Structure 1
Amino acid sequence: MLYAILAYHVEDEMLSWTPQQDAAVVAKVIEVQAPLRASGHLGPAARLDDTKKARTLRGPGAGIVLDGPFAETKEQLLGFHLVNYDTDEEAIAAARKLREVNPSAVYEIRPVKLYVPADGFGATATGG
């Protein structure tokens, strides 16, 4: 079974770090990831960029784009897609296409600040 491990942190605290402090934390995280990756247990990892850069697509029809990751309390994070586009507008267009087939979903579109590839980890998963 695959598990998603979601990292939460006080964003203002992280944003107050110097570049050297941030790099030291990232280096430690990568050090912890290395044996997990070597044993075949670690898939893709991503560090999201600042929440002020996030956009949320919600509402009827094509929806409207709002600043920020403002989820309703009844909504829960249930999955994610990683996409590669040059602009926010292209990423929002991709979210709109996803929404066409899942119109009750709310999609948060946020730039990824750090991406660590999976090296072929877990292409598919079934069952539970």
Structure 2
Amino acid sequence: MQYMLLVYEPEDLDHGPEGQASLRDVGAKHMALAQAMREAGVMQAGAGLQPIATATTVRTSASGGQTLHDGPFAETREHLGGFYLIEAADLDAALVWARQVPIRPGGSCEVRPALNP
């Protein structure tokens, strides 16, 4: 079964020198985890995302009309920073991988089964 590991980052990331060093460290840990997932044969896809300021949201009204908005759909304290799509036997196996995802303080990793066609 496929599972999405959705990595959420805190909104107020430190962009100074200390924050950049932390970002590089977390990035290296993500690369190592992705390599381990590939070697284990569970990695289907994955990517980090550009900063939240680059987001555009398409909203559909009840009448079906669409509007474009700069930024994410909702104002939140966390934003989607990246994802892994993995193949796992069950939720427990997916959680083994999710617990290894490098998460910055204030962030989280949501695990959800994918709908398979």
| TM-score computed with the length of structure 2 as normaliser | 0.53
Does 2:38 correspond to 1:31?
Answer: no
| TM-score computed with the length of structure 1 as normaliser | 0.49
Q: Report the CA distance between 1:115 and its aligned residue.
A: 9.6
* Equivalences, count: 82
Does 2:69 correspond to 1:66?
Answer: yes
State how 1:45-64 maps to structure 2 within 5 Å: 45-60=46-61, 61=64, 63-64=66-67
Q: Report the CA distance between 1:62 and its aligned residue.
A: 5.3
User: Which residues of structure 2 form unaligned runs of 5+?
Assistant: 88-114
Question: Percent identity, aligned pairs only?
Answer: 28
Q: Report the CA distance between 1:46 and its aligned residue.
A: 1.1
Residue by residue, what CA displacement relative to the aligned partner does 1:95-121 show, whole Å, maximum 9, x if unpaired?
A: xxxxxxxxxxxxxxx9x9x899x9xx8
Off by >3 Å, runs of 4+ in structure 1: none
Task: Considering Cα pairs closer than 8 Å and 6+ residues apart, tell me whether 1 or 2 has the greater RCO.
Answer: 2
Q: Report the CA distance between 1:66 and its aligned residue.
A: 0.6
**Aligned match of 1:9:** 9
CA RMSD of aligned residues (A): 3.5
